[in-house]
Amino acid sequence: MASPLYLAAVDLGATSGRVMLGTWSRNRLRLTEAHRFPNAYRELGAHAYWEIGTLWHEVQVGLRRAAAALPRGAKLASVGVDTWGCDHVLLNDAGRLVFPVHAYRDNRTQPGLAALARQGADRMYAATGIPNVFYNTSLQLAETVARCPAITDLATRCLFLPDYLNFLLSGRAENELTVASTSQLLDVHGRDWSRTALEHFRIPPTWFTPPVLAGQKLGRVTGMPELAGAQVVAVPGHDTACAYDAMPAAPEGGDLFLSSGTWSLVGFEHPQPLLGPAAQAARVANERTGLGGYRPLTNVVGLFLLEQTMQDFSQRPKHPREWDALIAAAAALPAPAVLLDPADPAFTAPKSMRAAIDAQLKRRKAVAPKHLAGYTRLICDSIGRGHAAAAANFEQMTGRKFRRILMVGGGSKNRLLCQATADAAGIPVVSFNLEGTAVGNMASQLIALGAVRDLATFRRQLGADLKQKVYAPRGAARLKVES
Ligand code: LFR
DSSP one-letter string for 141-175: HHHHHHH-TTHHHH--EEEEHHHHHHHHHHS----
483 has a pLDDT exceeding 80: no
User: Ligand 1 pocket, 347 CB below 6 A?
Assistant: no
**Atom number, ligand 1, closest to the C-alpha of residue 259:** 1
Structure confidence at residue 465 (pLDDT): 79
Give the mutation target among 239, 300, 348 for probing the ligand 1 site: most ligand atoms within 8 A of CB. Answer: 239
SS3 10: strand
User: Cα(112) to centroid of ligand 1, in Å?
Assistant: 20
User: Cα(289) to centroid of ligand 1, in Å?
Assistant: 14
**pLDDT (tens digit per residue) in 109-144:** 999 999 999 999 999 999 999 999 999 999 999 999
Distance (Å, whole) CA 310 – CA 316:
6
Among candidate residues 105, 132, 248, 289, the one with its CA nearest the CA of residue 201 = 132
Give the CA count within 13 Å in the CB-facing half-sphere of 156: 6
Distance (Å, whole) CA 114 – CA 433:
40
466 band by pLDDT with thresholds 50, 70 and 90: confident
User: Cα(85) to centroid of ligand 1, in Å?
Assistant: 5
Residue nearest to atom 2 of ligand 1 (CA): 84
In eight-state DSSP terms, residue 36 is E
**Atom number, ligand 1, closest to the C-alpha of residue 84:** 8
Distance (Å, whole) CA 22 – CA 449:
14
Span between the terminal Cα atoms of the chain, in Å: 59
Distance (Å, whole) CA 46 – CA 349:
13
**Rounded to whole angstroms, what are the CA distances from 355 to 294, 360, 424?**
38, 9, 26
481 band by pLDDT with thresholds 50, 70 and 90: very low
**E strands in 352-459:** 404-408, 429-432
Q: Which residues, other chains included, contact 450 with Cβ-Cβ below 8 Å and sequence gap of 6+?
A: none
Give the CA count within 13 Å in the CB-facing half-sphere of 99: 27
SS3 479: coil
1 has a pLDDT exceeding 60: no
Average pLDDT on 263-270 reads 95
Count helices and strands (H / E) in the chain: 17, 17
**Rounded to whole angstroms, what are the CA distances from 386 to 71, 107, 391?**
46, 24, 9
Give the mutation target among 81, 130, 238, 260 for probing the ligand 1 site: most ligand atoms within 8 A of CB. Answer: 238
b/e burial code for range 95-121 (CB count within 10 A of at least 16 → b): eeebbebbbbbbebbeebbeebeeeee
Residue nearest to atom 11 of ligand 1 (CA): 84
SS3 220: strand
Residue nearest to atom 12 of ligand 1 (CA): 85
**Atom number, ligand 1, closest to the C-alpha of residue 14:** 7
User: Ligand 1 pocket, 81 CB below 6 A?
Assistant: no
Count of residues making up the chain: 483
Q: Which of 204-213, 314-323, 373-382 has the lowest mean pLDDT?
A: 314-323
User: Cα(241) to centroid of ligand 1, in Å?
Assistant: 10
Rg of the Cα trace of the chain?
22
Average pLDDT on 356-377 reads 97
User: Cα(80) to centroid of ligand 1, in Å?
Assistant: 18
CB 386 within 8 Å of CB 342: yes
User: Ligand 1 pocket, 104 CB below 6 A?
Assistant: yes
238 has a pLDDT exceeding 50: yes
Helix pair 320-331, 415-425: axis angle to 10 deg: 40
User: Ligand 1 pocket, 183 CB below 6 A?
Assistant: no
435 has a pLDDT exceeding 70: yes
Distance (Å, whole) CA 456 – CA 444:
12
477 band by pLDDT with thresholds 50, 70 and 90: low
User: Ligand 1 pocket, 452 CB below 6 A?
Assistant: no
User: Catalytic: which of 82, 163, 239, 381?
Assistant: 239
**Atom number, ligand 1, closest to the C-alpha of residue 287:** 9
Average pLDDT on 469-477 reads 85
433 has a pLDDT exceeding 90: no
250 band by pLDDT with thresholds 50, 70 and 90: confident
Distance (Å, whole) CA 391 – CA 267:
8
User: Ligand 1 pocket, 13 CB below 6 A?
Assistant: yes
pTM metric for this prediction = 0.93
**pLDDT (tens digit per residue) in 305-339:** 999 999 999 888 989 899 999 999 999 999 999 99
User: Ligand 1 pocket, 239 CB below 6 A?
Assistant: yes
Distance (Å, whole) CA 31 – CA 434:
10
User: Cα(342) to centroid of ligand 1, in Å?
Assistant: 16
CB 58 within 8 Å of CB 34: no
- Is 312 noted as a catalytic residue in this protein? no
392 band by pLDDT with thresholds 50, 70 and 90: very high
CB 24 within 8 Å of CB 446: yes
User: Cα(475) to centroid of ligand 1, in Å?
Assistant: 33
Structure confidence at residue 139 (pLDDT): 98
Distance (Å, whole) CA 212 – CA 234:
8
